[in-house]
Structure 1
Amino acid sequence: MVEPIFGNLDLASISLWLFVVFFALLIFYIQRENMREGYPMEDDDGAVASNQGLFPVPDDKTFTLPHGRGTVTVPSGQNPDRTDLALAKTAAGNGFPFVPTGDPMVDGVGPASWAPRRDLPELDGKGHPKIVPMAALEGFQVATGRDPRGLPVQAGDGEVVGTISDMWLDEPEQLVRYLEIALDAEWGDGKRLVPLTMAKIKSDRVVVRSIFGKHFAGVPTNASPRQVTLREEDRICGYYGGGTLYASEARLEPQLG
């Protein structure tokens, strides 16, 4: 009598256990890969937190960036977080809010916070800056709605601080991302960008409610008149966003609508 090749082995059971082991290893791998940003975890003081979780932080992996922008290695901390923030704890334990110790809009904390992103412009698929002023483009025009260029800009306190001199477009998406403000000498010098979402275009003016006239001189500027970097975008948006709360002391308290 010829013995079967597998004898008394239960092939169905073996297949099931192989799948279970494979699936467990897959979960372990995916969870570690998911920890390439934001780990190792820190407490409110910036020290390494004691509860790092069940899975260990993955080994460094180097990624080649497109369009010749070099490489980035994570999670090695090549792009460290901002430090020495002008904030103070309100309680000894973790999880309690912090309060600003200076001018939060200038210091970039709280709602006005920004991240130290790369000081390079975002690129389209061809390696060109995505967000550029309309004046530098050919073939673009306002197809619908009101063209805000030339309209006065009114701040949240009613002051007129300048006029809209241009629109900055996300060229591949064909969307307006920013309006460019030419400031009057009384309120600052040069030009500033305002995110379109923070401006309201009316028939006779553009209203920027989040900040007041005195704040426009402090709006972060972009170094190039033809492009805006990721870090500059973060700082500009943070400044206007922070003004929604910090522009006036009256905005710091709860309000009934």
Structure 2
Amino acid sequence: MDFKNIAFAAALAVSSQVFAVDAILFVPETYPIGEVNQGDVKHISLKGANVSQKEITLENVMGQGVGMSNFKYPTKIAPGGAINIEFDMDFSGMEGPINALVVMVGTDGKPYTASLEGFVKTPVFFGEKMFDAGYYSKGEKREWTFYVWETDKKARPDITLDAASSKEFSIKKKNVMLNIDKLDEIKEGGKVPGIKVTLSTKGLKREGWELKQKSIRKVVSFKSKKFPKATPEVLVVGYWNE
């Protein structure tokens, strides 16, 4: 056994004294994703062991949340046996701190979990991310104004609506210089190049599953030629006025 394997086994032995005996433990306990860019896809491998006294048979492994796919895992883990869970994680639509769980379900229905944490960097920053349409009747117009700038504050964003969102929304843009010293009090007249965006409804549609819902939840997606992997979004909420 090489040094890395010895250290790994020792860490598991220490952990097994703290947690329940019948468990799957991972080293490190929380997998450090680190910093990733919005839109990146990362292959992740979680290493651990069955520290219980009985064989564990897994029926399924899944991600709690979005972005996880292509799971590979052993079906049976012998007592003291090693386990390696592999999957791909897509960071599109994410930003800021993330805390995620991988859930392993045994054939007896017992769940085992592994945690991950990291930070998703977005190249474009939105001064506001959620807008209230209130009680909304079909065909009504709603309008909201907010500011957008690049995270590195060096250039003006080139965002536009994506094709799907442009069916229900439109935007107008105005070049401005911003003071973003206080994010809850963004002002024009500073040193950061940005844009003032006016988002308007074209007439929200109610179709498919939305016909059964009284609440409105519309994800408005943007795109950028400069940052093609970025997936900036805002959310419009409200209620259908029936």
Greater relative contact order structure (CA < 8 Å, 6+ sep): 2
Same fold (TM over 0.5): no
Q: Select the structure that is richer in strand.
A: 2
TM-score, scaled relative to structure 2: 0.24
Q: Select the structure that is richer in helix.
A: 1
TM-score, scaled relative to structure 1: 0.23
Larger radius of gyration: 1
